[in-house]
Structure 1
């Protein structure tokens, strides 16, 4: 589960960087381009925040899975001893 969340967070971060990159280049200022500069910056910031939240949930998920595995191993060792 944690690996999938890290992949999702990386993808969202990539889209965030692309969106912010478009805001700071002249592509967003050309006539006929979608949206304006503030829209690209806002979308980049929103994607960045979502990416950070997903990465945090991935870290917490991995930590809890590791804690469960260690607790199960300790129980198994106690039974065998």
Structure 2
């Protein structure tokens, strides 16, 4: 699950960078293209914020999965130790 969130965060970050790039180039002033520069910048900012939130979710998911795996390994070691004693 964490890996998928990292990929989503990266994709959103790339789209945010492209949106910022379009706002600073001459593409936004070409006829037939959405020419509102503030729209491109706002869209880039929103995509960047969403990317950071998804990245934070990916980090937290990975940390919780790692803690759960570590706890399960400790439980398994305790079971093995009990079996050796008994």
The normalised TM-score by structure 1 is 0.97
Name stretches of at least 5 consecutive residues in structure 2 with no aligned partner. 82-86
Over aligned residue pairs, what C-alpha RMSD do you find?
0.7
Partner of 1:59: 59
Quick check: 1:79 aligned with 2:74?
A: no
Question: Which structure has more helix as a fraction of its residues?
Answer: 2
Which of the pair has more CA radius of gyration?
2
* Cα drift, residue 5 of structure 1: 0.1
Name stretches of at least 5 consecutive residues in structure 1 with no aligned partner. none
Moved more, 57-66 or 34-43: 34-43
* Cα drift, residue 31 of structure 1: 2.3
Structure 2: distance between partners of 1:29 and 1:17: 18
* Cα drift, residue 17 of structure 1: 0.4
Structure 1: distance between partners of 2:30 and 2:56: 37
The alignment of Structure 1 onto Structure 2 pairs a total of residues equal to: 81
Secondary structure of the structure 2 residue equivalent to 1:31:
coil
Partner of 2:84: none
Secondary structure of the structure 1 residue equivalent to 2:57:
helix
The normalised TM-score by structure 2 is 0.91
Structure 2: distance between partners of 1:74 and 1:21: 50
Deviation sequence 1:16-74 (CA, Å, 0-9, x none)? 00000000001101222114100000000000000000000000000000000000000
